[in-house]
Amino acid sequence: MTSIDHFLKSKPPLWMRGDINYGDIIMSTRIRLARNLTGFRFPRAFSDEEALQIDKLVSSAIIDEENNLDVPFSYFSLHDMPALQRQVLVEKHLISPQLANKTKMGSILVSEDETISIMINEEDHIRIQCLQPGLQLDKAYHLADEMDRLLEEKLPYAFDDSFGYLTSCPTNTGTGLRASVMMHLPALTVTNQMGPLINTMARLGMVVRGIYGEGTEATGNYYQISNQITLGKPEEDIILDLQSVAEQIVQKEIGARRALLEHASIAVSDRLNRSLGVLQYARILSSEEAANCLSNVRLGIDLGLIPPIPDRVLNECMLIMQPGFLQQHAGTTLQANERDVYRASIIREQLQMNNTDSKQ
């Protein structure tokens, strides 16, 4: 079993390494399957004893040498995990904030390459999650489905012929499938097209959420688009619909970027390069400002207005600027104002290292 330190490193995981299927606009794809075991109450109402039994059943079904899995899985209980480590796992999207708070009975199974994680006793008994870079809904679903098949062979799922997979919240009933894509949409945001787009999405049965930032702060022009409806539609259709919506939004974003360049090339270039300046020279950086500047720099590179910086470096900055990672990296707890200073110095360092690398 891999130690927890492996999962706490700031190296961007496989699914954050970009460069694939619309990788400049669609950062990543996520599939989540909600499952429950028959004969047990849901986590919101179950006893400690039930929690323990479910934990044992699920973890032993996955950690089993006879499974012959391509990638090994590790098991961690949230119970004996320090708060900072839990926060880092949330920032890496390996666990949800809800699970991070469930220190009494929550646990996680995570694949060594960090593409698949299985949360035990979150809102449902089992939540299988698969992350992939770029737009790869089919592949992500296929991987999650494989884990699902492995589990269903060994465990009795709560399933009803007419309602499908039974979940604690009826918004997940049916397929239990939530498919999402994380998109970087700076041009649509700056041209005020996101509001109407969000309304249109709702009519198509899709939800748009922000995904980035500290607490409730919305920053960085990143949006997560996912299916709202889980009942009455087969998995393939849910995925196909999201795929086509995501592709259409990509085209809209490309159009908005083109329009920005045509109408205000110098103003856009000024704004984006100023952001690069801030990242290179600022001494105090809030997470909000850092996220916005990183978003602008990414856009600048995509538009050819800023000399290329590898995705790897930008992704690492995005990861490490988050409060949990910063403190993990510093090896000590930091107050918000101390974090802002440390954040600025880390990002400066990252960009300088890249500069010296490219000059050699």
Cβ atoms of residues 121 and 43 within 8 Å: yes
Least gap, CB of 328 to other proteins (angstroms): 19
CA angle (75, 168, 241) in 5-degree steps: 90
Minimum distance of other proteins from residue 162's CB (angstroms): 5
Structure-token pair, residue 21: 């299927």
Residue 209 beta carbon to other proteins: minimum distance, rounded to whole angstroms: 6
Residue with Cβ nearer other proteins (192 or 360): 192
Question: In this structure, are residues 177 and 32 in contact, taking their beta carbons and an 8 Å threshold?
Answer: yes
Q: Which is nearer to other proteins, 45 or 266 (CB)?
A: 45
Q: Of 174 and 300, which CB lies nearer to other proteins in the complex structure?
A: 174
Residue of 58, 28, 26 lying closest to 40 (CA atoms): 58
Q: Which two tokens stand for residue 67?
A: 């499974």
Q: How far is the CB of 198 from other proteins (least distance, A)?
A: 7
Of residues 49, 68, 232, 360, which one binds other proteins by CB under 8 A? 232
Residues 333-352, one symbol each (x = binds other proteins by CB under 8 A, - = not), give --------------------
Residue 219 or 354 having the CB closest to other proteins: 219
- Smallest gap from residue 242 Cβ to other proteins (A): 15
**CA gap 8, 5 in Å, rounded:** 5
Return the SS3 of 360: coil
Distance CA 136, CA 21 (A): 7
Rounded to a whole number of angstroms, the minimum distance from the CB of residue 97 to other proteins is 5
Residues 286-325 that bind other proteins (CB under 8 A): none
Segment near other proteins (CB under 8 A); pick from 77-85, 94-102, 246-254, 352-360:
94-102
The interface region with other proteins, picked from 171-179, 265-273, 288-296, 344-352 by CB under 8 A, is: 171-179
Residue 283 C-beta: closest distance to other proteins, Å: 27
Q: How far is the CB of 19 from other proteins (least distance, A)?
A: 27
CB–CB of 155/213 below 8 Å? no
240 binding other proteins? (CB under 8 A) = no
> Which are the contacts of 154, defined by CB distance < 8 A and separation ≥ 6?
61
Site string for other proteins, 29-68 (x = CB under 8 A): -------x-xxxxx-xx-----------------------
Closer Cβ to other proteins, 170 or 304, answer by number = 170
> Residue 246's closest CA among 140, 339, 113?
140
Q: Which DSSP category does 15 fall into? A: G
DSSP character string of 275-302: HHHHHHH-S---HHHHHHHHHHHHHHHH
# binding residues, other proteins (CB under 8 A): 59
Q: Is 235 in the site for other proteins (CB under 8 A)?
A: yes
CA geometry: angle 21, 24, 26, nearest 5 deg: 65
For residues 137 and 31, the answer to whether their CB atoms sit within 8 Å is yes
Question: What's the CA angle centered on 316, arms 134 and 26, to 5 degrees?
Answer: 20
| Minimum gap (Å) between residue 277 Cβ and other proteins | 26
Our CB check for other proteins shows the closer of 176 and 300 to be 176
Q: Residue from 123, 289, 311, 316 that binds other proteins (CB under 8 A)?
A: 123
Q: Cα–Cα distance between 299 and 217 in angstroms, integer?
A: 21
CA distances from 70 to 107, 143, 147, 155, 196 (A): 22, 11, 12, 21, 44
- Please give the residues from 172 up to 231 whose contact with other proteins meets the rule CB under 8 A: 173-175, 192, 194-196, 198-199, 205, 208-211, 213, 215-218, 229-231
Name the site residues for other proteins (rule: CB under 8 A).
Answer: 36, 38-42, 44-45, 96-98, 123, 145, 148-149, 152-153, 156-166, 168-171, 173-175, 192, 194-196, 198-199, 205, 208-211, 213, 215-218, 229-236
